[in-house]
Amino acid sequence: MDAMVETAVRELSYAQAIQEAMAIAMERDERVFLMGEDIGVYGGAFQVTGDLVERFGTERVMDTPISELGGAGVAVGAAVTGLRPIFEFQFSDFATLGMEQIVNQAAKMRYMLGGAVSVPVVMRFPAGSGTGAAAQHSQSLEAWLGHVPGLKVIQPATPHDAKGMLLAAVEDPDPVMIFEHKLLYKMKGPVPEGYYTVPIGKAEIRRAGSDLTIVATSIMVHKALEAAQTLAGEGIDAEVIDLRTVRPMDRRTVIESVRKTSRLMCVYEGVKTLGVGAEVSAMIAESEAFDYLDAPIVRLGGAETPIPYNPELEKATVPQVDGIVRAARELATGAR
């Protein structure tokens, strides 16, 4: 069960929930501070940090130079010394510029030093397509980082989880990478007041069903739920699982669902090849749930192309509701 101190619930946007989580973390622990490009007076590229610099000052809300490698290195170093940095990349694509510090330092220090140190750094990545930002600012790279032992990788899909999982990440002794879909920032939902955490490594069943399992991540959770509503009108009962955590993945929830429905579809925005859905599919193929499958596993992922600038082409490169409905219908009924 999620740990909670307050129970009053209001409607907040995804961005407001993240901002509230960071403020609570900073109020509770003086070791927590924020780093990133333009997160101070400007309030962040997507206005997520907002007025936190006015509330906590420039020593705890630090604008960094335009160097993702340098900023990531400072964040990792600060974490090793006992601080709790939250480092914001302006776009998830810019993780490519900080991979040395993320993959070779943050992920490995605890192992290479025999557990003598931990690296409690949180890195936030605005991710995904849908804003017309084209090929270098619209990628979904969570599978890249999910491939690295030593990192924890999460994808909150709701304002409630965005707040609770960020607070859990701040408390975690290991590096936690948070991928926040840019189109979710304005989405509103119920968010409890005060402090609470949502466990890392635990999926959530967003809709119970009996005919097929749809495992989705991030914004695709909402598209899958919309598709499931359409399918219900056709007499097809889809179970929708919000994976929430890419690494460590919740095997048991997915396996038990597939055992019940006997059909599995994975929906994710990252490129289909070697994506999150590939790992989910392999997990089922290697588990006892394989014997319960009545049809081949279906993966719906991003197209094998960089994200185009043109809005119609951009939309065509990632799964949409109508495509999810068609694929699920075929999987459930065998009808093309």
Distance, first Cα to last Cα, the chain: 41
- The Cα–Cα gap between 97 and 314 comes to 24
| Cβ atoms of residues 241 and 205 within 8 Å | yes
Residue bearing tokens 């635990």: 202
Element containing residue 246 per DSSP (H, E) = strand 245-247
**Helix, strand or coil, per DSSP, at residue 9:** strand
The H helix count followed by the E strand count for the chain is 12, 14
Is 68 one of the catalytic residues? yes
Catalytic residue among 68, 239, 269, 279: 68
DSSP-derived secondary structure letter, 273: T
- Burial (0-12, 13-18, 19+ Cβ within 10 Å), 73: middle
- The Cα–Cα gap between 178 and 166 comes to 8
| Cβ atoms of residues 34 and 51 within 8 Å | no
- The Cα–Cα gap between 300 and 281 comes to 11
Q: Where are the beta strands (DSSP E) in 64-146?
A: 84-88, 122-127
| Cβ atoms of residues 197 and 233 within 8 Å | no
Is 137 one of the catalytic residues? yes
Catalytic residue among 20, 37, 88, 137: 137
- Give percent helix, percent strand, percent coil of the chain, each to the nearest 5: 40, 20, 40
| 263 Cβ contact partners less than 8 Å away, ≥ 6 residues apart | 211, 212, 213, 293, 294, 295, 331, 332
- The Cα–Cα gap between 140 and 142 comes to 6
| β 32-36/84-88 pair status | parallel
Nearest to 328 by CA among 183, 226, 251: 226
Residues recognised as catalytic: 68, 137
